Amino acid sequence: MKTSVDCLPCFLRQALQVARVCSAPADRQSAVVTAVAALLPDLDMTMTPPANAIRVYATIAKVTGCPDPYLEVKKKSNEVALQILPLLRDEVRRADMPLSAALRFAIAGNIIDYGASENFDIEAAFARCRTALPVIDHTGLFLARIAGLHKHAKVLYLADNCGEIVYDLLVLECLAKYGLELTVAVKSGPIINDALAEDAMACGLGQYATIIANGTACPGTPLPDCSPDFLRCFAEADLVISKGQGNFETLSEVEREIFFLLTVKCPVVGRHIADLTGKNIADLPGKGEMVVYSSGNLSI
């Protein structure tokens, strides 16, 4: 997915938002926005938005002197999610199709994305996911693929944001019952509220999966920049599950089957999904639509 002109004002919005998260004074906030504005003409519009975000956030960090502005927010997000988890876990266990229920809660958790917005309602997202169907719904295909995997098949799960990773546990717990070899990939360095290895371990994902880092500090998975170890894991996986909008933006046109689980929070991403699937763009305005999409299957 290429960067759209609509991404440029979004980068400026994020710059100001981060400056305020850092409690920067007004003159420093202005300096942050000015520095990012000066960077925008030099961005490569053929690159994905997350790949360009690397330079944007490096500029913000240089001006603010704050390399991990969402550090405390990430910790709080994980703490809150861990408090909610037992109730959702019980609901998943009682569901007729536990893995399907787990997918919905995990996708709803993708609303926790400070790159997209600093205001979201996780309880409303959970309430909606209990009744609303995904706009793109390849859940049946996903369940069939999981059921068809042999014991010890390699499944690579690309994690996204803090808080959200706690709800990913619901999916990992279900997948572990199939005897699969699970690996969860996180980011190697701080970027927005994306999860790092220490976050994944602190939230308990290490009980079910091997935790690896992808070699980047990008809010996505830009394969050309990822580490050799991650690329080997990606190539050898029998199934790749990509969580979140940023991972979708960087991997949507990769030539291999990937199951994308995400909440659409951006009209640019909505348009891209519509282009890929033939879905009516009116159904994907980027206002919280759930998506379960297999890049190896275009039937809707």
| Burial annotation 218-249 (CB, 10 A radius, 16+ → b, else e) | bbbbbeebbeeebeebbeebbbbbbbbbbbbb
SS3 289: strand
Cα atoms found within 13 Å of the Cα of residue 20, Cβ hemisphere only: 8
The β-bridge relationship of strands 239-243 and 259-264 is parallel
C-alpha–C-alpha distance, residues 16 and 33, integer Å: 6
C-alpha–C-alpha distance, residues 115 and 270, integer Å: 16
pLDDT in tens, the chain (300 residues): 999 999 999 999 999 999 999 998 999 999 999 999 999 999 999 999 999 999 999 999 999 999 999 999 999 999 999 999 999 999 999 999 999 999 999 999 999 998 888 888 999 999 999 999 999 999 999 999 999 999 999 999 999 999 999 999 999 999 999 999 999 999 999 999 999 999 999 999 999 999 999 999 999 999 999 999 999 999 999 999 999 999 999 999 999 999 999 999 999 999 999 999 999 999 999 999 999 999 975 443
Evaluate whether 242 touches 260 at the Cβ level (below 8 Å).
Answer: yes
pLDDT, position 119: 81
Cα atoms found within 13 Å of the Cα of residue 162, Cβ hemisphere only: 25
Which own/partner pairs from 126-134 qualify as long-range (CB within 8 Å, at least 24 positions apart)?
Answer: 126/88, 128/288, 129/104, 129/105, 129/290, 130/104, 132/290, 133/290, 134/107, 134/289, 134/290, 134/291, 134/292
C-alpha–C-alpha distance, residues 116 and 10, integer Å: 8
Q: What is the DSSP letter of 287?
A: S
C-alpha–C-alpha distance, residues 30 and 1, integer Å: 30
pLDDT, position 299: 41
Residue ranges of alpha helices (H) inside 67-160 are 71-94, 98-108, 122-129, 139-148
* CB-count exposure of residue 46 (10 Å: 0-12, 13-18, 19+): exposed
- Beta-carbon contacts of 216 under 8 Å, excluding residues fewer than 6 positions away, are 54, 187, 188, 189, 222, 225, 226, 227
Q: In what order do the strands lie in the sheet with 210-213?
A: 136-137, 289-294, 259-264, 239-243, 154-158, 181-186, 210-213
Q: What residue type is 149 in one-letter code?
A: L
**Entry pTM:** 0.95
Alpha-carbon radius of gyration of the chain: 18
pLDDT single digits (tens) 76-128: 999 999 999 999 999 999 999 999 999 999 999 999 998 888 888 999 999 99
Structure tokens at 40: 């925008």
Backbone angles phi, psi at 21, to 5 degrees: -60, -35
C-alpha–C-alpha distance, residues 195 and 159, integer Å: 7
- Beta-carbon contacts of 178 under 8 Å, excluding residues fewer than 6 positions away, are 146, 147, 149, 151
pLDDT, position 25: 92
pLDDT, position 298: 44
pLDDT, position 297: 58
pLDDT, position 115: 87
In sequence order, the β-bridge partners of residue 181 are 154
